[in-house]
Amino acid sequence: MRKPASIFATSTGAVLLLGSAFLTPVVAAEATLAETGKAVAEDRTKGNCFACHDYPGAVLPGNVGPKLMNMKARFPDKAKLRAQIYDATKNNPNTIMPPFGKHRILTDKELDAVVEWVLTL
Amino acid sequence: MKKLLTAISVALFVGVTATPAIAGPAEDANAFREYFKKRFPDIPFDDYINGVYAVNAGAREQWMAIEEFPPYQIAIDEGKKLFGTPFKNGQTYGSCFSNNGVGVADEYPMFDSKRGEVVTLELAINECRVKNGEEPLPWSKGKIASILAYMAFTTRGKKIDIKVPDDKALAAYEDGKRFYYARRGQLNMSCAHCHVDNAGNNLRANTLSPALGHASHWPVYRSSWGDMGTLHRRFQGCNEQVRAKAFKPQGKEYRDLEYFLTYMSNGLTWNGPGARE
C-alpha cells in the first residue's frame, strides 16, 4: 500500500533543494517554457496540480477540480488563465484552489511557465 | 441554507411571528446532516462514524479485514492496565470520573461553566494525574492514547450528545466553528473545503472523509503514524498539510474546534478507538 505522508508535501528546505536540483537540468537542456511549467506543475512542493486536476498523462490525479483539457479554447485570453492560477478566489471566493501567485507558492517565472504548460493541455 | 432563508422570508411576508431564526448549534447541526444527506443520499446516517470508509467502498473492504485483528487492541489492553494501576498516593483514575471512569467518555468534550472553558477527556485525564501528584502525560500519543482507547472502548455504543449549556459555551462553540471555516496556511484552505465541500472527492489518491462523524472514533491507530494518536494530533496534521502552523494540542483553539466538531456529530454513535489508513 502506498503511504502518502501528506498530500501537499510541506516545503522543507531539503525538499525544495531536491526540487530545484530536479528542475535545473531541464532548464539547462533548453527546455521549452511549457516543459519547465510541467515540471513545476508536477512538483508536489510547487504546483501539485494533479492533487486536484486530471489532465492527459496525469498520474493518480484527484478529482476535486475539473479536468484540464482544451485549455487554449477555454482560455483564449492568456491573462485570464494566469489570473486563475495567480488567485483563483478572484473568480470564485469560495474556491479550494490555492492562490499560487498571491501566496507566493510559485514565483512569477514559475507561474508564467505553468501557464504555458496549461495551454498545451 | 437557501431553503431556510426562503422559509424565513415567507414567514415574514405573511406576517407570522415565528421564533426568531437565530442560527444556533442545533440549527447548524441539522443543516450539516441535511447537507450530507443530500450529498450522499445512499449513505445511512449511522455509517458516518466510519469516516472515509463510508464513502469509499474499495477502501472499506481492506479496513474491514483490518478490523478483524484491530491494531488498536494493544492500546486498549495497555490502557486498561494503566487505568487500573493506582497512583503513588493510592488513588486511581477512576476516582476522578463518574462511574469510576467506565463508559463515561461520552461526557467529553464538555463545557465546564464554572471554569468557562471546554474540558476534553485528555484534559480530564491529565488533571486527574496532577491532582494526585503525578506528572501530566504528553498530550497526543503514547500512554494517554492508550488510556483514551480503553475509556472510548467502554463507551462504545452510546450516542453522541454534546450540550451547549450557556452563553460562554456558545462563544466557545462559535470560536470552534469559525476555526473550522477559516482559510489557513499558504494553501489557503479551511477544514470545510476538504471535509464538507469536497467530501468523497479525491485529493490525489486520497478520498476525503465527510466531517459528519469525524469525532466519533478517537483515538485512532493510523498506519501512516504507525501508532495511536489523538484527535488533536490529526488536527495538527491537517493544519500542516495546508502549510499552516499547527496549534498546540489541548490549547484553546483545538479544544473549541473539537467541541464544535463533536457537536456536529450529535446523534451518531461513539465507536472509538478506530483504525484508519
Residues of chain B with CATH 1.10.760.10: 2-69+164-276, 73-153
CA-based end-to-end distance of chain A: 31
B 194-223 → A contacts, CB under 8 A: 194, 197-198, 201-206, 223
Residue A3 pLDDT class (50, 70, 90 cuts)? very low
Give B225's pLDDT tier (boundaries 50, 70, 90). Answer: very high
- Is A24 inside a domain boundary? no
What strands, in cross-sheet order, belong to the sheet with B227-229? B227-229, B220-222, B274-276
Residue A18 lies in a domain: no
C-alpha to C-alpha distances, A100 to A49, B212, B228, nearest whole angstrom = 10, 30, 35
CATH for B73-153 is: 1.10.760.10
* Average confidence (pLDDT) over B152-160: 98
Residue A11, domain member (yes or no)? no
pLDDT in tens, B81-112: 999 999 999 999 999 999 999 999 999 999 99
pLDDT of A51 higher than 60: yes
Active site residue B238: yes
- Which residue of B56, B62, B184, B187 to mutate against A (max A Cβ within 10 Å)? B187
Q: Which has the higher per-residue pLDDT, A12 or B250?
A: B250
Per-residue pLDDT of B12-68, as tens digits, reads 444 444 444 567 999 999 999 999 999 999 999 999 999 999 999 888 988 888 888
Residue B89: count of CB within 10 angstroms of its CB? 10
Residue B184 CA to residue B210 CA, distance in Å, equals 19
pLDDT at A11 over 60: no
Question: Helix, strand or coil for residue A81?
Answer: helix
Residue A43 inside a domain? The answer is yes
β-strand B206-207 against B274-276: which pairing, if any? unpaired
Of B198, B223, B241, the CB nearest to A6: B241
Q: Which tens digits make up the pLDDT trace of B168-183?
A: 999 999 999 999 999 9
Q: Vertex A115, ends B202 and B186: CA angle to 5°?
A: 55
Phi, psi for B94 (deg, rounded to 5): -50, -30
Q: What distance in Å separates the CA atoms of residue B55 and residue B48, rounded to the nearest whole number?
A: 9
Cell of B124: 480530564
A51 touches chain B (CB under 8 A): yes
The per-residue pLDDT for A7 is: 65
Cell of B262: 463533536
Q: How many domains does one find in chain A? A: 1
A106 in a structural domain: yes
Residue A20, domain member (yes or no): no
pLDDT of residue B57: 86
Check pLDDT > 60 for residue B115: yes
pLDDT band at A4 (very low <50, low <70, confident <90, very high): very low
pLDDT, chain B, mean: 92
Residues of A whose CB is below 8 A from B194: 96
Q: What is the CATH number of the domain that holds A43?
A: 1.10.760.10
Taking CB atoms and an 8 Å limit, are B189 and A60 in contact across chains? no
Tell me if A51 and B237 make a contact (CB, 8 A cut-off): no
CB A118 within 8 A of CB A68: yes
% of residues, chain B, pLDDT over 90: 86
A14: in domain: no
Does A96 contact B186 at a Cβ distance shorter than 8 Å? no
Confidence (pLDDT) at B67: 87
| Interchain contact A60–B (C-beta under 8 A) | yes
Q: Which pTM was predicted? A: 0.89
Cα torsion A73, A70, B202, B245 to 10°: value is -50
- Percent of chain A whose pLDDT exceeds 70: 75
Distance CA B166, CA A80 (A): 50
Average pLDDT over residues A12-30: 46
- Residue pair B149/B219 in contact by the 8 Å Cβ criterion: yes
> For A61-101, what is each residue's pLDDT tens digit?
999 999 999 999 999 999 999 999 999 999 999 999 999 99
Span B2-69+164-276: which CATH code? 1.10.760.10
* Cα A100-A105-A111 angle, rounded to 5 deg: 55
Find out whether B261 and B214 touch, Cβ atoms under 8 Å.
Answer: yes
Interface of A with B in 65-84 (CB under 8 A): none
Mean per-residue pLDDT of chain A? 84
- What pLDDT, on a 0 to 100 scale, did the predictor assign at position B15? 40
Residue B49, CA distances (Å) to A7, A39, B23, B40 in order: 23, 40, 25, 14
Residue A95's domain comprises 30-118
Angle at B202 between CA B200 and CA B206, to 5 degrees: 105
